[in-house]
Amino acid sequence: MSEAPESGDGPDPDVLARAEAVLADLSERYLGWVDADLVRLESCLAEVMSRPDCRADLLCRMFGIVHDMKGQGATFDYPLVSELGNRLCRLLEATSHPTTEELDRIAALAAAMGRVIRGRLSGDGGDAGRRLLAERL
């Protein structure tokens, strides 16, 4: 496996600067991506609630959306998206025929992810983030 080019005392500063610039550009794009993913998640949730006959397939689709959101969140300084997404993924994995209580929890977790994204609660989200994680989701 190749390593980053090093100058005497560590990684090459030019390589690090280029990598940081790429990450900064991707971070700006992330907000657009996650906004679009949130729209997809909320649309899928509406279908889950209104189409019980298709619920198992829709929950699989929802899992894919949430899994992508979860994976990207921490990378782009939105660990709350990752944490809430992880909780939702675990719940979705556990059932293809959710009870009313499980549907309520699915909706609550999706709504919490929406609050993080729309509120731009990056990092730990401060007091709002701590309150959100303390909720029974």
Residue 7 included in any domain: no
Helix axes 55-73, 79-94, angle to 10 degrees: 150
Residue 3 included in any domain: no
Residue 27 included in any domain: yes
| Structure confidence at residue 4 as a pLDDT band (50, 70, 90) | low
Instruction: Estimate to the nearest angstrom the gap between the alpha carbon of 29 and the chain centroid.
Output: 14
- The rounded distance, in Å, linking the Cα atoms of 3 and 126 is 36
- The rounded distance, in Å, linking the Cα atoms of 67 and 34 is 12
Residue 4 included in any domain: no
What region does 98 belong to: left with phi over 0, alpha with psi -120 to 50, or beta? beta
Residue 68 included in any domain: yes
CATH number at residue 32: 1.20.120
Q: Which domain holds residue 20?
A: 12-134
Q: What is the pLDDT of residues 57-107, one digit of tens each?
A: 999 999 999 999 999 999 999 999 999 999 999 999 999 899 999 999 999
Residue 5 included in any domain: no
| Structure confidence at residue 6 as a pLDDT band (50, 70, 90) | low
State residue 26's pLDDT score. Answer: 81
Q: Which long-range contacts (CB under 8 A, 24 or more apart) does 116-122 make?
A: 116/78, 116/80, 116/81, 116/84, 117/34, 117/35, 117/38, 117/78, 117/81, 118/38, 120/31, 121/78, 121/80, 122/77, 122/78
- Tracing tokens 């983030």 back to the chain, one arrives at 129
Residue 80 included in any domain: yes
- Number of domains the chain is built from: 1
Residue 1 included in any domain: no
Q: Which amino acid is at 111?
A: A
